[in-house]
Structure 1
Amino acid sequence: MMSEPLMKVENLTKVYTSGSKDVVALKDINFTVQKGQFISIVGPSGCGKTTLLEVLSGLRLASSGSVKIKGEAVTGPQPSIGIVFQEESTFPWRTVVENVEFGLQMQGKPKSEYREKALKMIELVGLKGFENSYPHQLSGGMRQRVAIARTLVTEPEIVVMDEPFGALDEQTRLILGGELLKIVEKTKATVVLVTHSIQEAALLSDKIVVLSARPGRIKHLIESSLQKPRDAQALTTPEFAEITQKLWSSLEEESLTKKSVLEYKENKVVGQ
C-alpha cells in the first residue's frame, strides 16, 4: 500500500492575462510526488515547465486547482520548499562556506551550529578545500554545487530545481547529475527538476512528467525501470535506452504538432 504523497498536484491550471487576452500556460495538471522521489519535468520550449515549477514553489498562484504538501495548500513561498535556479545565484562577496550557511543564518541558528552543518554539506557536495574560496575563483559547475549545498543544508521537504546545469556542456551536466544523485541518496531529499536534457531526465528520475506543447498538459508519466543506486554505468543499459527512446518519441510528436500549428497560422495569415 502506497503512503500518502508528500506533494499532490490536482487539476492545476495557470492562465496569464495580457490586456484583453487570456493565455493558458498550463491546463489540468495532475501528479503526485512521494517522499524521497526524484521527479523530472520535460517538454517542448514554451510548454510551461518553469511556470509549473514556480507554482509548485509558491512563487506564483494557480488560476485553479491546487498544490498540497502533506495535505496543506501551497499559497506562497515557504521554508519547506528549497529552490535552485538556473541563473548564477551565489553571493560574490561571500566565500563558499559563507554562501552555504546563509540560509541557516536567516533561520536564526547559532553560529557554532550553522558553521558545522555548512562544512559537512560542503564536503558532501565535493567542495572540501574550497571553503574559503570566492565564487569568481570557481568553475560554473562548482558554483552550482555551492547553490545546491546552500539549499540542501536547510533540510527542506522538497527541493525544486530549474535547469541547474543548463549552462554546462552535456558531459559535465551528466557527471554533476550523477553526483547529485549520490547527494540526494545521502540526504534523503525529495527533488522536482525541470530540464531540457533527455539524458539527464532519464538518468536521474524515478518518474518523468512529459508536458505537451502549450497549453501544457501531461502527455505522459514515465516511471523509471533503472536500478538504484544509479551512476554513469546506467547510461549503457537497455532500460536507459528504452526511457530515452520514449522521451524522444513523445517530445518529437509535440515538436511536430507545434510546428504544424505555427505553419497553419502562418498560411492562414498569408491567405487572408
Structure 2
Amino acid sequence: MSITIKTAADIAAMRVACRLASEVLDILTPHVKAGVTTNELDRIAHDHIVNVQQAIPAPLNYQPPGYTPYPKSICTSVNHVICHGIPSDKALKNGDIVNLDITVIKDGWHGDTSRMFIVGEGSIAAKRLCHLTYEAMWHGILKVKPGARLGDIGHAIQTFIEKQGLSVVREFCGHGIGQKFHEEPQILHYGRPGTLDVLVPGMVFTIEPMVNAGRRELKEAGDGWTIVTKDRSLSAQWEHTLVVTETGFEVMTLSAGSPPLPAFVTTTSC
C-alpha cells in the first residue's frame, strides 16, 4: 500500500476535521472529574460531534479485519489501559489518569487527536508520566520536515523516554490519515535515525506515543479492543495529526483549549 500525498484542497479539508476533533476535547475538559462515568463522556462527545459539528464519530462501529465493531464514539483509556479503552458505567475517581481519544469525520476527511487528563489530585508519578509523554510527542513532531525519515521521529521519542526510565509501547503506532482512518505509513515511536520512509510535503499522519511507567509489555483485556500494561503500571498517550509542509510541519489538531506548548517548542507550524 502506497502513501497518499494530500493536495492543498485535501489539507484544507483536513484542517477542519482536525480542529473539530480538538474542540471535542475542549468540550469534554470541564466534565473530566471524579464521579463522571466514561459513558457520560462518550455521550457528551457523541452529541456534540453529531448535533453541533454535523460530523461523524469515526470510532463508532469501526471494524478493522479481525475485530468486532467498536461500540462507542470515543476511546477512554484509564490508568493502566494503554489504548482503545471502551467507555463504561464505571466512574472516574480522584487520582485517575485518562486518555480521551477523538476522531471526527467531516466531509469525508478524518481528524484524530488525544489528550491526557488527571482527575483531581494525581500522584507525582502520574503527573510526571503525563508530562513527559506530552514532551515526547513534541520531540517527535520537531523532527518532521521534508527529507527527514520516519526513523528520526521514532528515535527522538524513544531516546527521550528511555532516558527518563520509562518505556515506549511498540505494538501500536501512529499512522497516515485522510479519507481513511488508518493509512500508510506507520509511524513507529521507536527506531533508528536515517531509516524508513523519507518525508515529503503533503504527507499527513499522526504522532501518538504510548508510554508506560513500568515495562513496555502489554496484553489484551479480553473485550477484543482494550489493551493494558502487562505489569499494570500506568500508561499515558498524547496524539496530534500533522502535515509535512515545504519547510517543516503544521500541527492541525489544535484548538482554543489545547494545552500549552513545552518550553522547547516555539511554533506549531513551520
Fold conserved between structures, TM > 0.5: no
Larger Cα Rg: Structure 1 or Structure 2? 1
Q: Which has the higher helix share?
A: 1
TM-score (norm 2): 0.31
